[in-house]
């Protein structure tokens, strides 16, 4: 059964028709992120309706992944950053149901990404999996015994906000200090590079510099190595405490190259107890994972009824 799926992020809204592990009829628009929840939901539904009209057959359900802390049971956005103005408190499920006339299910975007990778990507055949998405920020999701861990406040998987030594004293986006995200996210890499060199560079450019022999290359290598190593140390701690059968690394920073991956593995080797040290750590491989995942989540909820 095909599902009409939406992914509402801080910069863009994506939509598609999902059948199994594949999303087609893909389209996207910029998120009117500072215009408030009504404008965001209007833009999301206009996009989804356009996708629906271009597809054969009518999808029977709408599945919505969104940035922010999402309570999938009540359908609310319980917390969100300023990236989406006034998004916290939005009754996302009712709002999208009223616009679409379709049954709607909602889920946090990283939880959706995790579920997609678990059901249709690298996680197939595993009972448990930890996904870490390393992009502008660092998010994650944890599947244990085939169930997505949501957490009692729906915050489970915020793995960017664990302490690592290299981030000691560094301010984090969450308002605390010393967290992994401050040194290992794309934003953290850019800020650490700026602090070391006085030169503003995008994260992708820092990763490129780290592979060359230019005046700023040594600084770039140090920043990329610290980012990967800190992530590896944190993953080691999570292997010890959660014992997932598989760790999947997604997001733009996971494409930073061999220097970064080697540093990740070195950090894991230093931190993980011997019994879990051989847990596979692999790159994600599912396209449109949040769309596929939120649709798969919607299907799973439907089957449980």
C-alpha 19 chain-centroid distance: 21
**Nearest approach, Cβ of 170 to Zn ion (angstroms)?**
10
**Nearest approach, Cβ of 116 to Zn ion (angstroms)?**
25
**Nearest approach, Cβ of 251 to Zn ion (angstroms)?**
16
- Report the residue number, 120 or 158, with the smaller CB distance to Zn ion: 158
Q: Does 172 bind Zn ion (CB under 5 A)?
A: yes
Tell me the number of residues near Zn ion by CB under 5 A: 5
By CB under 5 A, name the one of 22, 55, 174, 222 that touches Zn ion.
Answer: 174
**Nearest approach, Cβ of 121 to Zn ion (angstroms)?**
27
**Nearest approach, Cβ of 240 to Zn ion (angstroms)?**
21
- Report the residue number, 174 or 222, with the smaller CB distance to Zn ion: 174
C-alpha 132 chain-centroid distance: 7
Q: Does 158 bind Zn ion (CB under 5 A)?
A: no
Q: Does 162 bind Zn ion (CB under 5 A)?
A: no
By CB under 5 A, name the one of 111, 119, 122, 161 that touches Zn ion.
Answer: 161
Which pair of structure tokens corresponds to residue 167? 């981030």
**Nearest approach, Cβ of 138 to Zn ion (angstroms)?**
9
- In this chain, which stretch among 2-10, 67-75, 171-179, 210-218 interacts with Zn ion, using CB under 5 A? 171-179
Q: What angle do CA 104, 106, 111 make, to 5 degrees?
A: 150
By CB under 5 A, name the one of 61, 93, 179, 233 that touches Zn ion.
Answer: 179
Write out the residues near Zn ion by the rule CB under 5 A. Answer: 161, 172, 174, 176, 179
């Amino acid at each position: 059964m095909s599902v009409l799926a939406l992914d509402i992020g801080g910069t863009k809204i994506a939509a598609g028709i999902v059948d199994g592990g594949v999303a087609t009829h893909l389209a996207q628009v910029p998120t009117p992120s500072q215009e408030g929840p009504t404008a965001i939901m209007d833009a999301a539904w206009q996009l989804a309706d356009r996708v629906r009209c271009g597809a054969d057959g009518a999808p029977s359900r709408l599945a919505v992944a969104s940035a922010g802390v999402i309570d999938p049971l009540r359908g609310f956005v319980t917390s969100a950053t300023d990236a989406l103005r006034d998004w916290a408190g939005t009754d996302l499920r009712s709002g999208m149901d009223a616009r679409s006339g379709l049954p709607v299910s909602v889920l946090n975007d990283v939880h959706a990404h995790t579920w997609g990778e678990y059901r249709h990507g690298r996680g197939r055949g595993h009972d448990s999996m930890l996904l870490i998405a390393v992009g502008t920020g660092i998010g994650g999701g944890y599947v244990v015994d085939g169930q997505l861990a949501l957490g009692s406040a729906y915050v489970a998987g915020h793995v960017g906000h664990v302490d690592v030594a290299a981030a000691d004293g560094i301010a984090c986006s969450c308002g605390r200090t010393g967290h992994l995200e401050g040194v290992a996210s794309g934003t953290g890499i850019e800020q650490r590079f700026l602090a070391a060199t006085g030169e503003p560079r995008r994260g992708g450019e820092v990763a490129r510099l780290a592979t060359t022999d230019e005046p700023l290359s040594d600084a770039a290598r140090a920043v990329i190595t610290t980012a990967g190593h800190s992530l590896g140390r944190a993953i080691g701690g999570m292997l010890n405490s959660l014992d997932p059968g598989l760790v999947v690394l997604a997001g733009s920073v996971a494409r930073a190259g061999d220097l970064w991956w080697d540093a990740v593995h070195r950090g894991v080797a230093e931190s993980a107890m011997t019994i879990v040290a051989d847990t596979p750590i692999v790159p994600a491989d599912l396209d449109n994972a949040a769309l596929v995942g939120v649709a798969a989540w919607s299907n799973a909820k439907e089957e449980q009824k």
